[in-house]
Structure 1
Amino acid sequence: MKKIIFIYVTTVFLGINNVFAQYHEIKPGEQIPNFTFPDTYNAKNSTVKLSDFKGKLVILDFWGPYCLPCIAGFPKIDSLQKLFEGQIQILAISNLTKAEVAKFFKSHINVHRPNVPFITNAKHMDSVFPHTGVPFQVWIDGSGKVLLYGDPTSLTVKNINNSLKTGTAFYRKASKNVYTSFIDSRWKNLVVYASSISRYKSDSLRMHPELNAKGKQLAETGPVPFLYQRAFSDSSFKFLDVYSPGRVILEVNDKTKFIKSPEIKGEEAMKWIDDNYFTYQLIEPNNFPGNMYHKMKDDLDNYFQLTSKIEKRMVECYILVSTGNSEVLKTKGQTGFNNFYKMNDVHSTEYAKIRQLKNQPFLYLSNAVKDFVEYKLNSPFFDESGISENIDVEMSGKILDDMNFDEWQDGLKKYNLAIEKKRRLIDVLVISDFK
């Protein structure tokens, strides 16, 4: 069985630092030097060299403390390291100092720390493998030759096994997020008005408007429902909360082209994006009349052969209601205090078993319920309790962290409150097949 060195990069934007210009870019087909990494965190030896893992598949995982996909991938890194023990070695890499990495894991109590070395102060690697964003991978074979700049969706057990077996990488190539324009640079100053809809390709150049000095633009990329949400997010539709759950109704024959099923993952998910993501662009003179968002709506209707409009519809919602005397909520007037929020996400730097609102507006409790309903139940929410004064509330932190409907009901019952499922007549965006 052949073994390869595989470098996996998931990071936030990393610019190339001119200080490290001597570290030239290594392209597919070229050899990689035996880099030395001092000040390594969570490793047996503080200094690590790539040659320490000769013959193994090496995964350099570039991450950042504010990169949620990077942090969410830590458990996967741990599982892959254990599964391929002896064949691979994953190295997490960032521009943070060793002390900053240690502080991050100490303070972020809900972040899983994978049992791998963490390479620190690695700015020079931006010049070796230049990229403008994520996702990004570099695959290197056992002889030290770079095979491929790839996409993290290729990091699967099946693909790793195939590469170990064949010594090749044959997966989706990562885009370097290079943007271009439909308009030839020689003639761009002659363009006075243009609108376009183009397919989005995750592994190729991405289209982006290039305007002349006198023009203005509107550009968005995403699936069709999102493009419509953007078109209806203008101030002229301010009465429609278009981005909240339950505000878009699809009346189309084939919803699979509009909404990705949760079961579609990995390469299949990337293919779905390639097939169903589009970039909309509109370029026009600064003094041109008319609303650009309205024009975007018309263009979307025309190309996708759809009808879009705002209607009043009866929609199933979750309602916060008062079930009795609200005096139980009335504040005692002490100094204000608020730790009434979720504490089990990757941003958490503290944990409290009991969450409290002391002498705080009822809106804070209402918003906590709203976050639960919209995020967990994916449904419209309305507060019909009629309560507006300052309150005192104390609940188990488990209620906010678990996001469980029955737990919320039990916690609210003490304060004569409840969440009820009811139908309400609300404004919605209806997208339907053209007839």
Structure 2
Amino acid sequence: MYITIAVLLTIGTPVQLRAQMKIGQSLPDSIFHNVFNYGNSSLKMSDIDRKLVIFDFWSFTCASCLHSFAKLDSLQRIFKDDIQIILVNQESRDDTENLFKNRKTLVKPNVPFITSDTVLHDTFGIIGKPALAWFNHKRIFQGMTNSVSSEDLRRFLQTKTVDTDSYVRQPEYRPNHFDTRLSNSMTYYSYIAKHQNGINLLYTDSTLSKSPATILDLYIAAYDPLDNKRYKRPGRLIMDRQVKDAVQAQNLYDYLLHVPNTGLAERHKIMQQDLKRYFGFDVKVEKRLLSSFVLVRTSDKDKLKTLGSEPKMTFFASNPQMDDIQSEERVLINRPFRFFSNILGGLIESRFNRPFIDQTNYSGLVDIRFNANTLDEMELGTLKIDLKKYDLDLIEQEIWIDVLSITQSK
């Protein structure tokens, strides 16, 4: 038995599908266009033979959808002989590709993307996301779920059944706070509003949005154009007492900026000005000397370079949902060094609440193997032992680091 998981993106040309498909009905041998991250710009369902197909609908503004991409990538790798995940959304191919180009930390699953879809959304009556439509190896519709896990896939492989009882149809979302009769005519605007459920803010190359967001979320977004959340990391955010009191209120807001024909940096400047007018805080990025953990190389000998084996990554701390990392060894094989640096840095900062800085200046594909306890327990002694195998070391040093300072206006 084979399984295909398809995360539904929008389709550009009509395909012959039934409206409101019901369990037991079959999926035609349709051809989907506007496909990327695939060998061709179109995808024919008959090319995915003898696999379970799961259409998983997502959108740019569905946070849980974006967060699930790393898991989807792992599931596709683990069940590669049995499943094929296909992502499907209503945004254009260009906008979808730009989403990953602009958001460097967003994982792009190694699966096909079908973009510019309306037909599949109508066929399954999709309004909100996430939503996944399951088809067996004969392309017979099995039902809908809100998520997928390794346990779900194994259950289907063994029993040919999927638990659809817990599926909750997501509510309809609006792209902004305006009257829908007027919103399409709005061409240049920005606003801050108290958060309302049912608002799923628009995301395009002309917009900048954050929802739902605390005051801190808004300021961090405004001063972090690359969206790498650096000011959420240890030591990188400084507030005076008045700001801390305001932040503790935990009020939620929606922010949306739409300014055509402007670059990302200019849109962030406008957002900064909007926040100044609304909240009145003084904000600046400044250098501070912070005690940090610094990753360095101890020799010029390259003990990291990959041998070219099949790519594999189980380099995570334990996660009960990911069975393939429940082993004595965690590996990162034929993957970019930055993956290793980012994962290690996140674990170190979470464990020790101090900044992590990578000063190796290393790039390229690597093979790295760590003892599982090293990542699960994150003790400096065992960490240094595993790093030493690759002529790496973690040293404690004071480093000048950019921090975001937020204070009450005088």
SS of 2:316's equivalent in the other structure is: coil
Q: Partner amino acid for 1:396? A: N
8 Å CA contact retained: 1:107, 1:350 = no
Partner residue of 1:233 out of 200, 224, 231? 224
8 Å CA contact retained: 2:314, 2:324 = no
8 Å CA contact retained: 2:304, 2:390 = no
Partner of 2:316: 342
8 Å CA contact retained: 2:150, 2:322 = no
Asked if 1:217 corresponds to 2:210, the answer is no
Partner residue of 1:314 out of 279, 289, 297? 289
Q: Partner amino acid for 2:242? A: N
Partner of 1:120: 162
- Deviations along 1:89-147, one digit per CA (max 9) or x if unpaired, are xxxxx865899999932988xxxx9xxx9973638x86xx6x32xxxxxxxxxxxxxxx
Structure 1 residue 325: Cα displacement? 6.0
Q: Tell which structure's C-alpha radius of gyration is larger.
A: 1
Structure 1 residues 364, 302: closer, same or farther in 2, change over 3 A? closer
Find the aligned partners of 1:394 and 1:331 in 2 and give their Cα distance. Answer: 10
8 Å CA contact retained: 1:196, 1:281 = yes
Query: What is the number of equivalent residue pairs in this alignment?
Result: 283
SS of 1:18's equivalent in the other structure is: coil
Find the aligned partners of 1:231 and 1:97 in 2 and give their Cα distance. Answer: 42
Asked if 1:376 corresponds to 2:351, the answer is yes
Normalised TM-score (structure 1): 0.48
Partner of 2:409: 434
8 Å CA contact retained: 2:203, 2:209 = no
8 Å CA contact retained: 1:330, 1:390 = no
Find the aligned partners of 2:233 and 2:188 in 1 and give their Cα distance. Answer: 33
Asked if 1:178 corresponds to 2:153, the answer is no
1:2-81 equivalences in 2 (<5 Å): 18-20=20-22
Structure 1 residue 409: Cα displacement? 3.3
Structure 1 residue 303: Cα displacement? 0.9
Gaps of 5+ in 2: 1-6, 9-17, 24-63, 72-131
Asked if 1:248 corresponds to 2:237, the answer is yes
Asked if 1:197 corresponds to 2:197, the answer is no
Asked if 1:105 corresponds to 2:151, the answer is yes
Find the aligned partners of 2:68 and 2:195 in 1 and give their Cα distance. Answer: 23
8 Å CA contact retained: 1:107, 1:349 = no
8 Å CA contact retained: 2:374, 2:382 = yes
Q: Partner amino acid for 1:409? A: K
Find the aligned partners of 2:184 and 2:360 in 1 and give their Cα distance. Answer: 58
Structure 1 residues 295, 106: closer, same or farther in 2, change over 3 A? closer
Partner residue of 2:382 out of 407, 424, 432? 407
- Superposition CA RMSD, Å: 5.4
8 Å CA contact retained: 1:320, 1:382 = yes
Structure 1 residues 373, 107: closer, same or farther in 2, change over 3 A? farther
Find the aligned partners of 1:190 and 1:297 in 2 and give their Cα distance. Answer: 25
Normalised TM-score (structure 2): 0.51
Gaps of 5+ in 1: 1-11, 22-62, 71-93, 133-175, 260-271
Partner of 1:291: 266
Find the aligned partners of 1:290 and 1:334 in 2 and give their Cα distance. Answer: 40
Structure 1 residue 223: Cα displacement? 1.6
Q: Partner amino acid for 2:276? A: D
Find the aligned partners of 2:333 and 2:265 in 1 and give their Cα distance. Answer: 50
Structure 1 residues 365, 284: closer, same or farther in 2, change over 3 A? closer
Structure 1 residues 179, 186: closer, same or farther in 2, change over 3 A? closer
